[in-house]
Structure 1
């Protein structure tokens, strides 16, 4: 084992490496790093360098927690996220021998009533998006077919943006009506192809002229990137005045299943959720639904 890092900054870098080795997602690593850098900035303001781990105490972390919780400008969810990052990092320090004591042992997560803030689109909003894509097809048929296929993979099959980009032609089985998905954490699943999605894929395959193994490609690349997909949705969002992302369409897919009586376990299987708790939000009223209910019932 390498020598344990001496400074707090070095330990944060080591923690990032550890998370990569644990196959944590890039978004998770980015989030932990940002939150720990916020703590680092606080330490730099509190003490003169060098900022050694051996000089750090649980009192420092407790003081940081108090300051976070007293700041009314910070959302409770942000406070909790920063504290969780601190707790995970503290556990890592113990595991590599940088300290014998878990510095975050006295930290307590802020209690928050669970409410559903997830944003999904209404059927009317999805209709507006598909209408805009039809107009794109009139101007550039191939481009429009690409956009339509991407949207259907997200809203009719519930694929994550990376799953959309990684889909290969060999994964599509139109005879059996299924798509094989290489999902998050390298977990494989099969999802049923809806008729509209299957039709869009077949038409798209007839349009494209690349020999790429990947189902989707742009005019610039034989393998479309997540950034390119996000750029497409950003363009339609601006055009329609509706916030549309690959993930909001995935949320819409799950919500539609829940509203049409599909049981929570089946939704979890179709969406590739590792925990049923992730799926539970789709059977929990959203803030928008509660607002709508209030409008119907208020005096």
Structure 2
């Protein structure tokens, strides 16, 4: 396992990805040993065993809330195993990769599972982010959290990208944010709009200078992903927006661009998508937008 970790690091995998893949392998090993009643020998694992495991994930395995695993989660587990057995094959420890021909689980109607904020929800969120009393009259918290939220809402950053953002990644003069280590280790740049620029300037003006290089910090030091998730838990309580998550704000950013007529290729560039089909989901209109469209025909002669 130590050699597998080293292999992933040499391939440029992020530490969060490495942790996920290790967990996936451990879970598979446990299933194998419980299913066959013997210690796992990677060289003896067949493609049929992997298919049986996939069926277990589809029909038996549960998530943290005791519900069925989503196709996306199952595909992540299969991809983790594919990487692990590829490592073993490349090192000459197994003859073939048993996961190589296992197909990913088909994800249908992906656009139906994507949630973004509509105009009223977004306006209400912005109002909360600009009301000091909503933050127990602690203006510095409002200013910090507003900048954090605006990075997702107005620049489409992922939660991990916000966590890893450093001071030298922000150019206030050119009004550009540089994402040094996006998903898959990809670099991209995102231009700031006026609202985001003002929010970041206000935060950087009051940000303590003795807490390292991370843009967002708490009293204990650099903010972590759980720390940001805690902020969103508080925001849910304040706004009563049940679907409010960091990724919902990223979806809102992409959806709003699509609704403004921005090309799919440009949205993909700003969001860091490598597949235009990922971006295409934002063309789906909301019920309000569809109703407004057909209402335009009402009364025509």
Which residue pairs with 1:4 in the alignment? none
How far the C-alpha of 1:191 sits from its partner, in A, is 2.0
Aligned to 2:30: 41
**Does 2:146 match 1:148?**
yes
Do structure 1's residue 157 and structure 2's residue 146 form an aligned pair?
Answer: no
63, 76, 84: which one aligns with 1:89: 84
2:281 aligned counterpart, secondary structure: helix
Alpha-carbon distance in structure 1 between the residues aligned to 2:54 and 2:161: 38
SS in structure 2 opposite 1:180? strand
More divergent stretch after superposition (96-105 vs 149-158): 96-105
Is residue 94 of structure 2 the alignment partner of residue 99 of structure 1? Answer: yes
Is residue 165–residue 214 contact of structure 2 (8 Å, CA) maintained in 1? yes
1:251 matched to 2:247? The reply is no
Residue 266, structure 1, aligned to residue 266, structure 2:
yes
Say which of 114, 119, 128 aligns to 2:115.
119
Q: Which runs of 5+ in 2 are unaligned?
A: 62-67, 295-301
Equivalents in 2 of 1:82, 1:252: separation in Å? Answer: 28
3-state SS of paired residue (1:156): helix
Over 3 Å counting, the alpha-carbon distance change for 1:63 and 1:162 in structure 2 is closer
Relative to 1, partners in 2 of residues 1:206 and 1:111: Cα closer, same or farther, differing over 3 Å? closer
**How many pairs align?**
281
Q: Distance in 2 between matches of 1:271 and 1:40?
A: 36
Aligned residue number for residue 124 of structure 2: 128
Q: TM-score, normalised by structure 1?
A: 0.78
Counterpart secondary structure, 2:141: helix
Distance 1:42 1:122, change over 3 A: same
1:169-248 map, 5 Å: 169-184=167-182, 185-211=184-210, 212-221=212-221, 223-242=222-241, 243-248=243-248
TM-score (norm 2): 0.77
Deviation of 1:66 after TM superposition, in Å, equals: 4.8
Q: CA deviation at 1:152?
A: 1.1
Structure 1 51/68 Cα, relative in aligned 2: closer, same or farther at 3 Å? same
Shift of 1:113: 3.2
137-146 vs 64-73, greater mean Cα deviation = 64-73
Report SS of the residue matched to 2:157: coil
